[in-house]
């Protein structure tokens, strides 16, 4: 049998070309049976039409008729001489390869995988097909890792020099997404990395995925996998080192995070800007781990020295990541309570950050012009709330009540989810439904600012402050005529922000002397909620080997709040109250924290068998229920609890807190005052120890406090979110009036 091309047949068989086009069209629409019928007609017209066999078999295969497909392909090949059989086999493989790629492009993964299985049976040494088939198996969740182990022997001896990054990168990405720790999986990842051609481009692609999964989706394990692959490609890549150190804190791999941050700082940071970023990253990883207090203090001092060098430099610093103010001043309040010293420096540095970033942007953005026509007072105010944490997070649990009770007759509520693709069930329920409009934007502060401006927001509320560089960047662009900070953390010092919302307690009267923002004090409380969801307790005293008649002191805070002086005072309380135990829970390196607490306990004469350490609860509802095991909660200083304080008070448990001067050192005080409780408020370290001992020894006092807290649910400002919403709306109205009057006055002078 001799092969003749389609073009040579057209003169003899004028209908063949038309039939072939009709069959292709039917196959494109998925009508494989009709297409098969046409190919059968073509082969009746010309039995030597090789393409007809390949396409007919493919139509059978796509209908699930595998035996018929194989017979259709193999029958003509068996009748050919060796040389012609090789040529026809190559034609068949080309046809199947194109078909597999077409199905994959249409995301018909099962069909594509099936075709590639037949390619592999015909050409088992086809490395590109084997890897493509493995990728499809991963997408379909049908990869057998034991079979993969067998394939690895074939791959290890294969010549992979002609493999393209277009094939390897998607496969590598799918491999990194796997949760298996099978050795064959690791070997295949290494195989892909070894054969990448454009290694710099691969790192750029993988790092973008690492940031997406880690920062936006918040799948920290997967973000860590991608960043680790970047370091396998280039162990010294500066941006990969930096991001891996950041993400490893959440995996958690605290020691690895510290070591990578140290490498980044020592090996990759040369200019003043880079050193400032590097020392801040190292401080971040060290503080998050916990237990390295002396190292952290030294790093903080070095960081602040670099800050001073920036402020004293002749040329403004150009910061690489928008408004880095959050990076450089986040940990200050954890170190000491000196706002009159620290905040003026923060204000000045924030101004420097904003000037440098706006200069860097130059003409990349449209200036936001807020004109008098927007200032009409006979309409509802448009209030925007900006945060990355409108989710199951401290911010999300607290801010939701304000949105729930906003009066739609007075305000329109716009919610801006920063660095989030989808709000999720919690965000939908508590933030999207009450809003006039909700917007999710990931990794684009300029785009978010543009959307806020286009929405015509009158007053924009930053709910993140120092916890988020991106929100600072949005606020720096001034997309709304009036901007304020509320709830998340202390004010940032961002000069584009007009107000910092507080109450009579959370800041001292002298605070305005060192705040760049105008402090707007609400009449009673700066936060109110209707309560918390509480689950079923999973923790009992016998689980911790604590006697029924013992006194349990409790502390649940992150490692960054564990100041050694406060721990020392807590140990003094435990030492002074016989038959008492201290239960400690919180994020951080558990081994480091245990050693840290035990060393201080031994110094203060407390036997370490009176300490108990608990892992974090997966659900906040369970954590709150388990608070009932505590007789007394001991707060941290100089950085108090906030959400943890509210949870403690809601559960009716006595709390001991020390009051300082900075916002972070007065949160618990403000909340206790707004719950009607003064017992446990200490104004010095000695007072803190005294209250701790007294509450541990006086069961009647504890019961009195518990009853007062229970009754406060019906009467206290802290638990009246609806009244709080009215007070916030009144504040917004007054802020807007001040703005409109200032604009009118300015227009009148022109």
Whether residue 557 is contained in a domain is answered as yes
Task: Count CB atoms within 10 A of the CB of residue 17.
Answer: 14
H or E element, residue 298: helix 293-312
Is residue 466 domain-resident? Answer: yes
Distance from CA of residue 328 to its chain's centroid? 20
Domain with 702 in it: what CATH number? 3.40.50.2000
**In this structure, is residue 336 part of a structural domain?**
no
286/325: higher pLDDT: 286
Specify whether 559 is located in the same domain as 472. Answer: no
Euclidean distance between CA atoms 714 and 725, whole angstroms: 17
Residue 510 has pLDDT above 50, yes or no: yes
Lowest mean pLDDT among 160-174, 229-243, 382-396: 160-174
Asked if residue 554 and residue 434 are part of one domain, the reply reads no
Residues 436 and 510 in one domain: yes
pLDDT at 75: 87
| Total domain count, the chain | 3
Query: Tell me, what's the pLDDT at 12?
Result: 46
Residue 352 pLDDT > 90? no
Q: Considering 123, 144, 164, which residue would you say is the last residue of a domain?
A: 123
Highest mean pLDDT among 6-10, 173-177, 510-514: 510-514
pLDDT at residue 327 above 80? Answer: no
* Domain edge (last residue) among 73, 105, 123: 123
Residue 479 lies in a domain: yes
Q: Could you tell me if 712 and 574 lie in one domain?
A: yes
Please give the share of the chain, as a percent, with pLDDT higher than 70: 94
Q: How far apart are CA 145 and CA 198, in angstroms?
A: 28
Final residue belonging to a domain, choices 473, 492, 521: 521
Residue 501, C-beta contacts closer than 8 angstroms, at least 6 positions apart:
484, 485, 486, 487, 520, 522, 526, 728, 731
Sign of CA dihedral 588, 592, 594, 600: negative
Judged against a pLDDT cut of 70, whether residue 520 lies above it is answered with yes
For 197, phi then psi, to 5°, come to -90, -55
Domain ranges, residue 593: 541-719
Q: Are residues 488 and 606 in the same domain?
A: no
Domain-embedded: residue 645 = yes
Q: What's this model's pTM, rounded to 2 decimal places?
A: 0.87
Answer positive or negative: Cα dihedral of 693, 694, 697, 703. negative
Q: CA 310 → CA 271, 284, 358, distances in Å?
A: 11, 20, 17
Lowest mean pLDDT among 273-277, 385-389, 682-686: 273-277
Mean pLDDT of all residues belonging to the chain: 91
For residue 148, tell me if it sits in a domain. no
pLDDT of residue 235 exceeding 70:
yes
Segment 131-180, tens digit of pLDDT: 999 999 999 999 888 888 888 887 877 777 778 999 999 999 999 998 88
Strand partners, 482: 459
How far is residue 399's CA from residue 529's CA, in Å, rounded to a whole number? 8
187-222 tens-digit pLDDT: 999 999 999 999 999 999 999 999 989 988 889 999
What CATH number is associated with residue 452? 3.40.50.11380
The answer as to whether 68 is a domain residue is yes
Interatomic CA distance for residues 395 and 463, integer angstroms: 8
Whole-number pLDDT of residue 517? 97
pLDDT digits (tens, 9 = 90+) for 16-42: 888 888 998 998 898 999 999 999 989
| Same domain for 575 and 680 | yes
Question: Which residue reads 């502060």 in tokens?
Answer: 445
The answer, yes or no, to whether residue 373 has pLDDT greater than 50, is no
If asked whether residues 99 and 11 sit together in one domain, one would say yes
Same-domain pairing of 461 and 601: no
> pLDDT band at 223, cuts 50/70/90?
very high
Check whether residue 490 and residue 569 sit in a common domain. Answer: no
DSSP letters, 327-362, are HHHSSHHHH---HHHHHHHHHHHHHHHHHHHHHHHT
Cα separation, 392 vs 235, whole angstroms: 35
Q: Strand 655-658: give its sheet, edge to edge.
A: 611-614, 580-585, 551-556, 632-634, 655-658, 681-682
Q: State mean pLDDT over 366-385.
A: 71
Across the range 635-660, mean pLDDT stands at 98
Domain membership of residue 76 (yes or no) is yes
> Would you state the pLDDT for residue 746?
77
């Amino acid at each position: 049998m001799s092969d003749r091309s389609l073009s040579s047949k057209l003169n003899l068989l004028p209908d063949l070309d038309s039939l072939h086009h009709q069959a292709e069209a039917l196959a494109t629409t998925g009508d494989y049976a009709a297409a098969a019928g046409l190919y059968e007609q073509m082969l009746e017209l010309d039995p030597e039409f090789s393409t007809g066999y390949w396409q007919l078999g493919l139509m059978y295969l796509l209908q699930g008729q595998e035996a018929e497909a194989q017979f259709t392909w193999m029958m003509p090949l068996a009748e050919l001489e060796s040389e012609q059989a090789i040529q026809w086999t190559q034609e068949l493989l080309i046809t199947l390869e194109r078909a597999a790629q077409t199905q994959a492009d249409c995301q018909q993964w099962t069909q594509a995988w099936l075709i590639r299985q037949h390619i592999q049976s015909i050409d088992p040494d086809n490395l590109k097909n084997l890897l493509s088939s493995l990728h499809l198996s991963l997408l379909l969740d049908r990869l057998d890792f034991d079979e993969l182990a067998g394939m690895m022997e074939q791959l290890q001896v294969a010549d992979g020099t002609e493999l393209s990054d277009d094939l390897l990168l998607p496969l590598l990405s799918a491999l990194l997404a796997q949760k298996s720790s099978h050795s064959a999986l690791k070997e295949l990842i290494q195989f892909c990395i070894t054969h990448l051609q454009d290694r710099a481009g691969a790192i750029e692609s993988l790092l973008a995925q690492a940031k997406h999964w880690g920062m936006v989706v918040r799948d920290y394990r997967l973000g860590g996998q991608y960043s680790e692959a970047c370091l396998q490609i280039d162990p010294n890549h500066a941006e990969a080192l930096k991001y891996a150190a950041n993400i490893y804190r959440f995996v958690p791999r605290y020691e690895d995070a510290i070591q990578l941050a140290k490498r980044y700082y020592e090996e990759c940071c040369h200019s003043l800007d880079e050193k400032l970023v590097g020392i801040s990253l190292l401080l971040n990883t060290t503080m998050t781990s916990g237990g390295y207090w002396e190292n952290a203090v030294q790093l903080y001092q070095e960081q602040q020295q670099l800050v001073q060098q920036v402020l004293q430099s002749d040329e403004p610093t150009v910061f690489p990541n928008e408004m880095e103010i959050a990076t450089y001043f986040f940990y200050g309040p954890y170190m000491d309570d000196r706002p009159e010293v620290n905040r003026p420096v923060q204000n000045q540095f924030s101004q420097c950050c904003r000037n440098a970033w706006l200069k860097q942007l130059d003409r990349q953005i449209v200036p936001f012009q807020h004109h008098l026509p927007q200032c009409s007072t006979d309409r509802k105010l448009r209030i925007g709330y900006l945060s990355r944490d409108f989710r199951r997070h401290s911010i999300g649990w607290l801010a939701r009540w304000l949105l729930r009770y906003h009066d739609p007759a007075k305000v329109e509520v716009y919610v801006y989810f920063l660095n989030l693709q989808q709000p999720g069930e919690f965000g939908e329920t508590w933030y999207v439904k009450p809003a006039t409009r909700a917007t999710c934007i990931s990794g684009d502060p300029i785009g978010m600012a543009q959307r806020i401006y286009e929405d015509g927001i009158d007053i924009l509320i930053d709910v993140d402050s120092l916890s988020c560089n991106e929100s600072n960047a949005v606020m720096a662009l001034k997309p709304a005529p009036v901007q304020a900070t509320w709830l998340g953390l202390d004010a940032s010092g961002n000069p584009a922000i007009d107000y910092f919302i507080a109450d009579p307690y959370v800041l001292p009267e002298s605070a305005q002397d060192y705040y760049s923002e105008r402090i707007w004090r609400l009449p009673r409380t700066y936060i109110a909620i209707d309560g918390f969801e509480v689950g079923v307790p999973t923790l009992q005293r016998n689980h911790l080997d604590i006697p029924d008649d013992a006194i349990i002191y409790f502390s649940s805070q992150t490692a960054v709040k564990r100041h050694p002086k406060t721990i020392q005072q807590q140990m003094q309380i435990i030492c002074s109250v016989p038959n008492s135990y201290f239960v400690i829970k919180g994020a951080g390196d558990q081994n480091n924290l245990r050693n840290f607490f035990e060393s201080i306990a031994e110094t203060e004469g407390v036997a370490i068998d009176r300490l108990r350490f608990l892992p974090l609860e997966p659900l906040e509802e369970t954590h709150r229920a388990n608070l009932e095991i505590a007789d007394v909660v001991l707060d941290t200083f100089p950085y108090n609890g906030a959400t943890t304080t509210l949870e403690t008070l809601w559960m009716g448990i006595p709390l001991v807190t020390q009051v300082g001067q900075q916002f972070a050192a007065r949160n618990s005080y403000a909340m206790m005052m707004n719950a009607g409780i003064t017992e446990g408020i200490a104004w010095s370290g000695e007072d803190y120890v005294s209250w701790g001992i007294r509450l541990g020894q006086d069961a009647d006092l504890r019961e009195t406090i518990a009853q007062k807290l229970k009754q406060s649910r019906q009467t206290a400002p802290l638990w009246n979110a609806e009244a709080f919403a009215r007070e916030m709306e009144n504040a917004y109205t007054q802020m807007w009036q001040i703005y409109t009057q200032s604009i009118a006055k300015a227009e009148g002078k022109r």
